[in-house]
Amino acid sequence: MEAEAERGNLAGVQHIILVLSGKGGVGKSTISTELALALRHTGKKVGILDVDLCGPSIPRMLNVQERDVHQCDSGWVPVFVDQDKTISLMSIGFLLEKPDDAVVWRGPKKNALIKRFVSDVAWGELDFLIVDTPPGTSDEHIATVESLRPYQPLGAVLVTTPQAVSVGDVRRELTFCKKTGLRVIGIVENMSGFVCPHCSECSNVFSKGGGQELAQHAGVPFLGCVPLDPQLTQSLEGGRDFIQEFPKSSAFPALVGITQHILSMASPRSS
């Protein structure tokens, strides 16, 4: 096992969770953000590391896109989302001069920055570090998994949408987890059905059940379906706390269920 001193800036981090998907736009950043907010509501201290270098979404979802990262003796100070410093965030979004600047980088440069993100961010004491990733199984993923390996991540949450086109890509991501020895915490099916706000009819905009089928097929836990919920999208657009503001919404129970699953998985290890 690693000695405490060697863990450096991640020494105070209890559990590391990766949020992955082979497919883009399925809600990895949404799930990462909501997971962080839900864990915060159970009294945990959470950090989010956004390794999506070409399309960082989390700063906006937490309404901190204007903030800057500062240096301290032990490295970069992450951006704190709230006064109590219960959620901290590191993202390339904070390092760009203009928000619309394109990060046109090939793999080696991306790998170098991810290594720095893993080693040089002064997270302090955290119960959970959630790592939000870009779609695919390439440089960012290899670099993230390799540099986090010494810290034994708790595992990966895989996000998919229900349709076959998306499930196909997530199957490949499962193979990635297997090959890299990353435990799969479970699969989340996002955008699962849309309840019409006018007539309450539920439409399966992106079909239904693909995530659950995949979980069964692959023999990994199914963490639940998160429906398409305009209240959720709106809170993310405005950077508001969905978990606090909309406890009655349709997506809320699903998100809380996923959080409970992760908490129960984490507890035997922390004791």
Partner 1 sequence: MFFPAVASAMAERVGPALVDVPPHECPGTGSDQAGKAAACQGCPNQGLCSSAQPAGPDPAIEEIKEKMKTVKHKILVLSGKGGVGKSTFSAHLAHGLAEDENKQVAVLDIDICGPSIPKIMGLEGEQVHQSGSGWSPVYVEENLGVMSVGFLLSSPDDAVIWRGPKKNGMIKQFLRDVDWGEIDYLIVDTPPGTSDEHLSIVQYLGATCIDGAVIITTPQEVALQDVRKEINFCRKVKLPVIGVVENMSGFVCPKCKKESQIFPPTTGGAEMMCLTLNVPLLGKVPLDPQIGKSCDTGQSFFSEIPNSPATLSYRDIIQRIQNYCSHDRPQEERKP
Residues that bind partner 1 (CB under 8 A): 22-26, 29, 53-55, 57, 60-61, 99-112, 115, 134-139, 141-142, 161, 163-166, 168-169, 171-176, 179-180, 194, 196-199, 201, 203-207, 228, 230, 233-234, 236-238
Instruction: Write down the least CB distance from residue 255 to partner 1, Å.
Output: 17
Residue 59 Cα to chain centre, angstroms: 12
Taking alpha carbons only, the member of 124, 51, 137, 132 closest to residue 88 is: 124
Smaller CB separation from partner 1, 8 or 136: 136
Q: Tell me: is residue 23 an annotated ligand-binding position.
A: yes
Instruction: Write down the least CB distance from residue 182 to partner 1, Å.
Output: 12
Q: Tell me: is residue 136 an annotated ligand-binding position.
A: no
Q: Tell me: is residue 200 an annotated ligand-binding position.
A: no
**CA–CA distance, 36 with 47 (Å, rounded to integer):** 8
**CA–CA distance, 211 with 197 (Å, rounded to integer):** 25
Residues 18-40 as b/e (b if ≥16 CB within 10 A, e otherwise) read: bbbbbbeebbbbbbbbbbbbbbb
Q: Tell me: is residue 219 an annotated ligand-binding position.
A: no
Instruction: Write down the least CB distance from residue 253 to partner 1, Å.
Output: 20
Instruction: Write down the least CB distance from residue 89 to partner 1, Å.
Output: 15
Q: What is the per-residue DSSP string for 144-164?
A: HHHHHGGG---EEEEEE-SSH
Q: Tell me: is residue 124 an annotated ligand-binding position.
A: no
Q: What is the per-residue DSSP string for 11-79?
A: TTEEEEEEEE-SSSSSSHHHHHHHHHHHHHHTT--EEEEE--SSS--HHHHTT-TT---EEETTEEEPE
Query: Residues 144, 154, 124, CA angle at the centre, nearest 5°?
Result: 75
Instruction: Write down the least CB distance from residue 267 to partner 1, Å.
Output: 31
**CA–CA distance, 81 with 90 (Å, rounded to integer):** 11
Q: Tell me: is residue 199 an annotated ligand-binding position.
A: yes
Smaller CB separation from partner 1, 10 or 218: 218
Q: Tell me: is residue 55 an annotated ligand-binding position.
A: no
Smaller CB separation from partner 1, 13 or 188: 188
Instruction: Write down the least CB distance from residue 214 to partner 1, Å.
Output: 11
Smaller CB separation from partner 1, 14 or 63: 63
Smaller CB separation from partner 1, 214 or 255: 214
Tracing tokens 């023999």 back to the chain, one arrives at 219
Smaller CB separation from partner 1, 124 or 136: 136
Binding residues for [4Fe-4S] cluster: 196, 199
